[in-house]
Amino acid sequence: MRTKFISTLTELAERDDRIFLLVGDLGYSVVEIFQKKFPDRFFNVGVAEQNMMGVAAGLALSGKIVFTYSFANFTTFRCLEQIRNDICYHNLNVKIIGIGSGFTYGPSGMSHHGTEDLAIMSVLPNMTIISPCDPVEMDLAIKACVKWDGPCYIRVRKAGEPTLHKNSPDFRIGKGIIVQDGEDITLIATGWILNNVIKAARLLEAHNIQSRIISMHTIKPLDEALILDSAQKTRGVMTIEDQNIAGLGSAVGRVLISSRKCAVPFTAIGLTDQYSYDVGSEEYHLIKSKLTPESICTAAINTLNTQ
């Protein structure tokens, strides 16, 4: 998805000279295409993410559309104050790209896990949060963000994600996408983990359980209407995310709680209130966190059995 990000951004920058790209001394072999074409609109600020946000804010105040690029943990946790005070408070056109979401960099340990970013960014006023599931959504998300007025956080895994959308979907910020319809349970996922959810739905079919699958690419603003519609049309709702359930899970849970018409079983699948002290591959962490297709399938069956 990061390759699609840079190719789409370069394409847009050819038509809009307001687009700038700032990186935190990384992205090598990815960002060079933009750097070579637009050397005056590309800045490597070094390992100084907090300063990067300040520079981005200054450029945005002068009318630019600024994209910043760094690891998800560094571009959110490390410079939260600058994002809050410099960018969100002034509602600036800064689009923050967080690479390496979830356990992408699992072998690097907890310091490199992007497992709380959605939850943390969600509480910032004026911040729009997007988590595309595949290169198709990534392309559409970048195009939408350029037109969107205000700060955006775009959460990305890294590379090698399969294309999940056979056709270009109707992508709109704040509107989820129904990938597959079904009458038994609604599976709401955000980001690349949708791939595991689709596989889990195939496993559920062996149990005669038909799943409605939703790509909730926008966490904020959230598509509350689609959530409530799904709760009325299926017998249970689940959220799946490769980060703390205080992100998508809490957001969907609040919508369901606020509605007296949608009393259905609800389960949030993701990380709970604890750190991972283990060092291991992304696959290892997904197994441990019960985010494999098999674990998602089991959780869905258990959700329906609570009725």
Residues 6+ away with beta carbon under 8 Å from 180: 198, 201, 211, 212, 213
DSSP state for residue 225 in the 8-state scheme: H
82 sits in which H/E element:
helix 80-82
- Catalytic positions are 49
Of 46, 67, 85, 42, nearest in space to 130 by CA:
67
Record the tokens describing residue 280, joined without a space: 């291991």
Phi-psi region of 41 (alpha: psi -120 to 50; beta: other; left: phi over 0): alpha
Q: What is the CA radius of gyration of the chain?
A: 19
Record the tokens describing residue 53, joined without a space: 């946000």
Record the tokens describing residue 194, joined without a space: 């949708």
Record the tokens describing residue 207, joined without a space: 């149990």
